[in-house]
Amino acid sequence: MGRVTTRVPRTRVDVTAGGAPVERPDTVAVEEPLEMRLGDAPLTTTMRTPGDDFDLAIGHLLTEGLLHAADEVATLMHCTDVDASGSPTFNVVEVTLAPGVVPHRPARERTEAMTSACGVCGSASIEAVRTASRYAVADDPLVLPPDVVAGLPGALRARQPVFDRTGGVHAAGLATASGELLHVREDVGRHNAVDKVVGAAAREGALPLAGTVLVVSARASFEIVQKAGVVGIPAVVAVGAPTSLAVELARDRGITLAAFTRPPHFSLYARADRVLGPTGR
């Protein structure tokens, strides 16, 4: 398995100390491509932090709507690709579906490879990114106490060892309504971190991920809310800001969306009743 972090040379400059350079190594997050193959056919390539690649592959297949359950996968394996020096990179994952299983929708048509910044970049059309959910998340009876919402970013932050070492990765967590974090994953791509968490949860049990909360260290973008809805997660809590499309999609699908979550404050943009009650107080 590839390294999660690596050491690189660094020249530190402090202008308050006369600009004298200081040479010192630094620890940075590793970013490498991962090609996912469905059988022998290339599916997509994303830039990611190595580790939890099988969770990432399954999570991606689920949040893209290609599969409906983890048990539709028969095997996952790293292909033994090598770099220029002949060392294995583990940067290709091949997924074999269970007998009789076929993808439930075509793979999203992309015009370019996915970067660590975006999970829907390169989609051929706006409509192509509105992956339909099989689950009525609007009907989920989840109730979230305000103190649980406010406390989720802190709980997530306490389980980010790679961020502690590098400051260069995002995190995603899947939590219960009481604030217990069931799974946490880190990655240079916020969408990859979400897929890794979804994959980890799906490998332990069946979808939908009803009654749970997705908490992310980044902004609440369209793709994050979409991924939550596709696998039946009824609430998203983000440390950063929401985007207009994220708010629109959350309201359309009935997903509770909290953003700017920095204790003791947070802002609600959709389905506030799950937090404040039906009267809004």
pLDDT tens string 104-119: 988 765 444 455 455 5
Domain with CATH 3.40.140.10 in the chain: 137-276
pLDDT in tens, 235-262: 999 999 999 999 999 999 999 999 999 9
Fold of 32-129: Ubiquitin-like (UB roll) (3.10.20)
Is the Cα dihedral 69, 71, 72, 78 positive or negative? positive
Active site residues per annotation: 118
Token reading at 101: 């299983």
DSSP-assigned letter for residue 206: P
pLDDT grade for 8, boundaries at 50, 70 and 90: very high
Cα–Cα distance, 37 to 217 (Å, whole number): 29
How many percent of the chain have pLDDT more than 70?
88
42-56, 71-85, 155-169: least confident range: 71-85
**3-class secondary structure, 274:** helix
| Residue 243 to residue 257: CA distance in whole angstroms | 11
Is the pLDDT reported for residue 230 higher than 70?
yes
Containing 131, the helix (H) or strand (E) segment is none
Give counts: helices (H), strands (E), the chain: 7, 14
Cα separation, 51 vs 3, in Å, equals 8
Tokens of 188: 């240079």
**Dihedrals phi, psi of 189, to nearest 5 degrees:** -105, 125
Q: Pairing state of beta strands 11-13 and 21-23?
A: antiparallel
Rounded to an integer, the average pLDDT of 58-79 is: 95
Q: Is residue 32's pLDDT more than 60?
A: yes
The predicted-structure confidence for 170-220, as pLDDT tens digits, reads as follows: 999 999 999 999 999 999 999 999 999 999 999 998 899 999 999 999 999
Class of the domain covering 137-276: alpha beta
Is the four-CA dihedral 178, 182, 185, 191 of positive or negative sign? Answer: negative
Q: What letter would DSSP give residue 145? A: -
Query: Distance between CA 109 and CA 187 in Å, rounded?
Result: 24
CA–CA distance, 152 with 239 (Å, rounded to integer): 9
CA 30 to mean position of chain CA atoms: 17
196 Cβ contact list (under 8 Å, min separation 6) = 52, 55, 56, 59, 172, 185, 187
Of 182, 212, 188, nearest to 200 by C-alpha is 182
Question: Which residues in the chain are classed under CATH 3.10.20.10?
Answer: 32-129
Largest Cα separation within the chain, whole Å, is: 69
